[in-house]
Amino acid sequence: MKHYLPDPDQIPGEAQPQELPPWGETRVVGRSLSRVDGYELVSGTAVYTLDLTLPDMLHAVIVRCPHAHARVVRVETSRAEAMPGVRAVLTASTPGAEIPWYFGDDGPTSRLFDSHCRYAGEEVAAVAAETVHQAWDAARAIEVEYEVLPFVIDEAEALEADAPAVHEGGNLTEQREFARGDVEAAFAEADVVLGGTFRTPCELHAPLETFVSVARWDGDRLTVWDSTQGVFARQQELARYFRLPLTSVRVICPYVGGGFGAKLSTGKYTVIAALAARMTARPVKLAVTREDSFLSEGNRPANTIRLKAAAMRDGTLTALEGEFLGSVGAYPSGAVSPYLLLALYDCANARAATTEVYTNAGRARAFRAPAFPPCAWALEQTIDALAEEIGMDPVEFRLKNLATVLQLRDDLPYTSIGLRECIIEGAREFGWESARSRPQQDGHLRRGVGMAAGMWAYPGEPRATVFVKLFADGSVNLNMGASDIGTGTKTVMAMVVAEELGVPLEQIQIEHADTGTTQYAPASGGSQTVVVSSPAVRAAAVDVKGQLLEIAAAELERPAEGLVLRDGQVVPIDDEGAAVPLAELRGLRQRQNIVGVGRRHPHPEGKIALPFCAQFADVEVNTLTGEVRVARLLAAHDSGRVMSYLTYENQVFGGMAMGIGFGLTEDRVLDSQTGKMVNHNWHDYKIPTAKDVPLEQTCVPIDPHDTECNTTGAKGLGEPAHIPTAAAIANAVYHATGVRVHDAPITAMQMVRLLAETRGD
C-alpha cells in the first residue's frame, strides 16, 4: 500500500497489548440491523460537504490546463479580477500560493500551481467569487498563454529513449524485482507451461459526491469540511501545507458520498479553498466538477501483465512469473502490484518484475484494492487455463495449491486462513459441479461458469483511540475518529457498543470524523476501518462497563462478576427479577457520566491477519453480438467475524458491482492526438447500471473464528469484495465460449470480434 497508507511495520508498537477475551456467542454483533443513520441517508437530511453552505461563503473554481503537456508562459487575470462578484484570483505568483506540493513521502515534486503542466486538467489558477456562476465567468476570462510541449500517454512509449520527459530525470519511476526458488529450472521441468499478456483498463473512481471542500479561518485556526476518507490524514497534510500546529487545523466530515480510495490523499482543491478563504477572510467552498474530477482526482492505472505459469500433471503448481507495466500518471503514485502472484498460491518458484512510469495523464490514486484486481485478472485466468491444460477442475486445482503461510514475508503464518472453506463452501452453494457440466441450449446464447480466488494485503494501521460515554439516563455517546465512507462503519461500531453495554442502538449517539472533537483513527481505506477501530470501540465500552458494574455491585451488594448489562439494565445473573435500569443507579446519577477510553492494541507478534475470498460467476454470452450478461454471482469471503450482516452483504454486493464495471464496461480513453480524455463524464465513461448487475447475488460469509487477529475477530472486507470478480467473470466467459479474453473490459465491441475470429469469419 506504498503511496497510499502507512506501513504498519513502521509504526512503533505499544508496550502493553490490550487483551480482551474473544466474544463467545454475541447478542447484537453479527445481526442484520438497519443502519443507525439510515433515516438521514434515505431522507436526504444527511448533510454532505457538497450540501454545506456557510454564512458569507464564497465559491471557488479552478482553471485547468487544457493541454496534456505544456508550460505556462503568462497568466492574465486583470479582466477576471474586475468582474462582478470576484473576490480573489489565485495563480502561481499570488503571495502565499507558492506552496510546494507533495505526492507521497518523498519530498515535494510539484507546486500548488505548477507552471510545468504535466497532464490535461492540471491546476493553473483559481477564482473565488460571491456565486459559483460569477466564479466560472471569471475563470473563463482568465487568459493563459501556454507553450505546448510534446506529450506521451502510452506506458511503453514513455520508456523509449526519445519519449518526452514528464519530469526531469526521465519517465521511469520505479523498477522492482521479486524472486524465490529457481523459476527457470521449474519451467524446464514442468509438464505444462503456459502464459499470455493481459491488459486491464484505466479505471476512474467516480464517487457520487464529487471532490469538495469548504474552508474557514478563525484567526490563525483553519477549519475544513472536506469530503474525505480520513480527517486525521487531511489534518496532518493541511498543517504541513500551511505550517500550522495540528491543533490549529480542524477537519470535519460527517458524511462522504463515496471515495473508493480517491479521497485518501489531499487534493489541491482543498488547499486552494483554504488559501482563498485566508485571502478573502470569508469561508470558501470549492466543489470540483464531475468532469474535472475525472481528469484530476485519481484513477486505477491500466496494467499490462505478461504472465507465465507452470504445473505438473498431478496438479502441482511449480512456477509463476510475471512482468508488470503500468503508469502512475504524471506524478508519483503506485501503478502495479505482483502481490497476488507471489502470495495467493503455494509456489516454490516465483519471480516478478515491475516497471512503473510517468505519463502525461492524471495521477493514479488508491482505488479499492489498488493493483490487485488487475493482477487477479491475469493470475486467475492463467490458473484457470493451467487447470484446463492438465485436465483438472479449476476448483480442485486451486485447492491443491493454496498457500498456508505468507511466502512474501518469509513464510509468516496467518492468524487464520479460510480460503479453502471459501472455495469449498462457495462452490457448494453455487452448485459449481452441476453448473460446470450444464449442457448448452440450442441457439446463440451460451452459458458458462467461472471462479476466481483472492486475498488482501493490508493488515491495518493499528492505532486508534475511542471514547465511550455513558450518560446518567443510560444513553451512550460513541466518540471515534473513523470515517464512515458509506460502508456502515457507524452501524458496526454502535453494535459493538451495544454488545458490551447492553443498550439498544437507538440509545447510542455517534460523534465521528472530526479532528476537533474525536480522537485519532487511521483513514477509512485499505479495508482497515473495522479491523482497527472496532477493537478500540470494544475496549472503550468494556472500560465503561467495568466502571458501571463497580457502581452497580456496590449498590446492589452483589459481586460485579455476577452482574451483566442487558436491555438498558443491570441484571444479576442468578436473580434476573432484581434487575435495575441504568437510570436508577444512584452512583451513575451522582457522577452524571462514565467515560471509557479504548485504544487499539498492536497486531499479533509473528503472525499476520489478512482476509481471503473466492467468487463465482455465471454468465450468458450472446455469440451473435458479443454481449455478456452476468446471470448470477456468489461471493464466499473469509473476512473473519461478520460484525453486521447487512453492511457485510452491502460491501460484498457493492464490490462485485464494481467488479462488473472493471470486467465488462469501464475504460478511460485518452485521445492519442492530443492526450486529452474524451470520456470524462458519466455517459461516456461506462459505469455499470442496475441493469448490468444480476438480481441473483449470494453472500457466503466464512468465519474462521479468528481469536488472534484482534479482539473482535474481524478482518477487512471492502477491498477483497472487489478483487476476484472480473477474473471470475472472464473465466465464466471462457467456459461459455472457449474464448480467453486477455484484455479487460470484455465489451461487446471486443467480444463480437473475438467470437468472429474464433469462428474464422
Compute the least distance from the CB of residue 292 to another protein, in Å: 12
Strand partners of residue 514:
252
Task: Determine the Cα–Cα distance for residues 721 and 662; give it in Å rounded to an integer.
Answer: 13
180 vs 629, which CB is nearer to another protein? 629
Q: How far is CA 44 from the centre of its chain?
A: 25
595 vs 669, which CB is nearer to another protein? 669
CA angle centred on 621, ends 618 and 625, rounded to 5°: 160
243 vs 691, which CB is nearer to another protein? 691
Of the candidate residues 51, 182, 429, 692, the single one contacting another protein (CB under 8 A): 692
Tell me: does residue 761 bind another protein (CB under 8 A): yes
Q: What φ, ψ does residue 643 adopt, rounded to 5°?
A: -80, -40
Of 207, 81, 224, residue with least CA distance to 139: 81
Helix (H) or strand (E) holding 302: none
The 734-753 contact track toward another protein, x by CB under 8 A, reads -------------xxxx-xx
Task: Determine the Cα–Cα distance for residues 609 and 595; give it in Å rounded to an integer.
Answer: 31
The three cell numbers of residue 274 are 483554504
Q: Where are the alpha helices (DSSP H) in 1-131?
A: 38-43, 78-81
Compute the least distance from the CB of residue 685 to another protein, in Å: 10
Compute the least distance from the CB of residue 137 to another protein, in Å: 8
Of the candidate residues 684, 696, 738, 758, the single one contacting another protein (CB under 8 A): 684
| DSSP secondary structure code for residue 716 in this structure | -
The three cell numbers of residue 551 are 457502581
Of the candidate residues 573, 576, 624, 758, the single one contacting another protein (CB under 8 A): 624
Compute the least distance from the CB of residue 444 to another protein, in Å: 7
Tell me: does residue 133 bind another protein (CB under 8 A): yes
Compute the least distance from the CB of residue 735 to another protein, in Å: 21
Task: Determine the Cα–Cα distance for residues 595 and 476; give it in Å rounded to an integer.
Answer: 10
Report which residue type is found at 673: Q
Tell me: does residue 688 bind another protein (CB under 8 A): yes
The three cell numbers of residue 139 are 475563470
Cα-Cα-Cα-Cα dihedral sign, residues 147, 150, 152, 158: negative
Tell me: does residue 404 bind another protein (CB under 8 A): no
The 352-371 contact track toward another protein, x by CB under 8 A, reads --------------------
Compute the least distance from the CB of residue 671 to another protein, in Å: 5
Compute the least distance from the CB of residue 375 to another protein, in Å: 25
Of the candidate residues 24, 169, 574, 683, the single one contacting another protein (CB under 8 A): 683
The 406-445 contact track toward another protein, x by CB under 8 A, reads --------------------------------------x-
End-to-end CA distance of the chain: 45
The three cell numbers of residue 523 are 483513514
CB 533 within 8 A of CB 493: yes
Of 140, 141, 135, 175, residue with least CA distance to 155: 175
Compute the least distance from the CB of residue 670 to another protein, in Å: 8
The 500-529 contact track toward another protein, x by CB under 8 A, reads ------------------------------
Compute the least distance from the CB of residue 663 to another protein, in Å: 12
* Distance (Å) of CA 508 to CA 18, 60, 296, 584: 24, 38, 39, 18
175 vs 689, which CB is nearer to another protein? 689
Residues that bind another protein (CB under 8 A): 66, 132-133, 136-137, 444, 622-627, 664-665, 669, 671-674, 676, 678-679, 683-684, 686-692, 747-750, 752-753, 755-756, 761
